[in-house]
Structure 1
Amino acid sequence: MLSSVKTHSSTEQIITCADDVYKDRESLSGTIEPVLIIPIGTFCLGTWQLQRRKWKLNLIAELQAKSNVPPVDLPLELSELEDLEFQRVKMTGSFDHSKEVFLGPRPLLVGGDVHEAGSGLISSGQSGYLVVTPFKLADRDLTVLVNRGWVPRKQKNPESRLEGQIEGLVEVTAVVRRGENRAPFMPNNTKGSPIFTFRDVPTMARMLGTAPVFLDATDTFPGGPQGGQTRVTMRNEHLSYMMTWYSLSLATSYLWYRRFIMGKALM
């Protein structure tokens, strides 16, 4: 509703602006070409949003396809991970629970999207933290970062979830993730703090003494954090943006046609 109000308001502003320009009869001949900038410019912006929408739809399809591919072994060459984001990998090793850090606050994701209702650990409206733990691989001298999953605020303290602090060798299936940049207006990570507001992989790796490799665990160990916290949906509002710009282009083109082609005064 708010989006349509904003769109209506923007349309009225541009039409009012065009109306003021068109009513300047004294400079009519020198105004024809400059006024065309409005419908042409908004048409170009609509076309740009059309291309962006195609790109986003392809990206979403690629993401979903990768998430459905059977897991592969974690590559020996870490450089190969650059092309494997959202690909599932499998590995065997052990967690170092003494060095876990937290990413959040975050809502619980179920099925790749924000969970709206439930009970217990997945109560509606709860926010919590993702538990990130160093994972030492059994087949090589390499330790990576694994997001074991989500816990509510009341279980951020590991003493409250000892059953889920699995010891010894375990097999983990996880999704390859890259680092992320801090979003506008998001607080920066506090140096030395175990709580991160965004996925700053290089800083986490230096702090915990691991390789700069970050993976989201897909499984949930009994009593442990809720796994599967990879968002597999993406915002795609390009259709509404495209319709807004094309509507503005159509409206201002009509005003231009009435003034300069038909020579009729605007009502």
Structure 2
Amino acid sequence: MDTPYWQGVPVITFALGTWQIKRWKWKLDLIEKLKQRTSAEPIDLPSDLDELKDKEYYRMKVKGKFLYEKEFLIGPRSLIINGEAISEKGGGVFSRKTSSGYYVITPFKLEDRDLVIMINRGWIPKCNRSTYKMGNKITDFIEVIGIIRGTEKRPPFIPNNVSTKGVWHYRDLDAMAKIAEAEPVYIELLAEYDTPQGPIGGQTKVALRNEHFSYIITWYSLFACTSYMWFRQFVQKLPLI
């Protein structure tokens, strides 16, 4: 009698369940790390910008003035409220249509250094794409706090950026810096820096989905079922049905 094709399934499902335990612990550690970094005291911009490579999600404090004439948009992007994308929360008071829009990226000239960085001032709805530059502007030097973010690889199925036409779908800091005549340093303003009739700040996603525990239950349940079937057929020599 041929060996049933499923006899290796108990081993496979047990291995997958064990792997999901490791992934679950990794995700819990990542969530805790993000929580600690985004709630820590703001740091100052280091003199060596390479130090920022290990500082993603930390809060950073800078003082300077916005260069509105060089700002541009990234999108389309979902509106983020309290660290979670509106489209993932089901919309709330925002429909899926109105929660689609763009991030406003504005170069920021530092007061104490001959340096320009880039700041994500926040989110605007798609309908404001052609009029966002008409909003209120802060022309004086201002101190702001934002979340440090690194560059972003092109997500699957997302078109390439076309910098020459001002089309930005994802965060390519080096390419953005060339267009903005800035350093590849990028922060996302906290929500308290909203301006009247301006972009909605706080566009840092920190709410991570963690479904690994349910995967653990699924794989170990399959392991238990198939192990019983294996024991019944090969040890007890009983038919499966």
**What TM-score, normalized to structure 2?**
0.90
The answer for unaligned runs of 5 or more in structure 1 is 1-25
Alignment of 1:80-119 (within 5 A): 80-115=51-86, 116-118=91-93
What does residue range 53-92 of structure 1 map to in structure 2 within 5 Å?
53-92=24-63
Going from structure 1 to structure 2, the CA distance change for 1:264 and 1:133 (only over 3 Å counts) comes to: same
Aligned-partner residue type, residue 195 of structure 1: V
Task: String of CA shifts for 1:60-103, please: whole Å, max 9, x gaps.
Answer: 01101111112121222111111211111111111111111111
Structure 1 equivalent of residue 20 of structure 2: 49
Alignment partners' CA distance in 1, 2:152 and 2:7: 41
TM-score, with length taken from structure 1: 0.81
- Whether 1:257 aligns to 2:217 is no
Amino acid at match of 1:202: D
User: Separation in 2 of the partners of 1:262 and 1:179?
Assistant: 59
Change (3 A) 1:54 1:150: same
Q: Unmatched 5+ residue regions in structure 2? A: none
Offset of 1:172 from its aligned partner?
1.3
- Matched letter for residue 172 of structure 1: V
Matched residues, percent identical? 42
Q: Quick check: 1:199 aligned with 2:174?
A: no
Whole-angstrom CA distance in 2 between matches of 1:216 and 1:162: 21
Aligned to 1:42, what secondary structure does the other structure show? helix
Please tell me whether residue 241 in structure 1 is matched to residue 215 in structure 2. yes
1:263 and 1:181 mapped to 2: Cα distance? 55
Q: Which structure has the bigger radius of gyration?
A: 1
2:156 aligned to which of 184, 198, 212: 184
Give, as a single letter, the amino acid of the residue that structure 2 aligns with 1:223.
Q
Task: Tell me which amino acid in the other structure corresponds to 2:23.
Answer: R
**What is the match of residue 13 of structure 1?**
none
Kept in 1, the 8 Å contact 2:124–2:132? The answer is no
Q: Secondary structure at the match of 2:41?
A: coil
1:205 counterpart SS class: helix
Question: Would the aligned equivalents of 2:83 and 2:202 in 1 still touch at CA under 8 Å?
Answer: yes
What does 1:108-257 correspond to in 2, within 5 Å?
A: 108-115=79-86, 116-118=91-93, 123-125=94-96, 126=98, 127-157=100-130, 159-160=131-132, 162-218=134-190, 219-257=193-231
Bigger fraction of residues in helix: 1
SS of 1:252's partner is helix
User: Aligned partners of 1:250, 1:173: CA distance in 2, in Å?
Assistant: 52
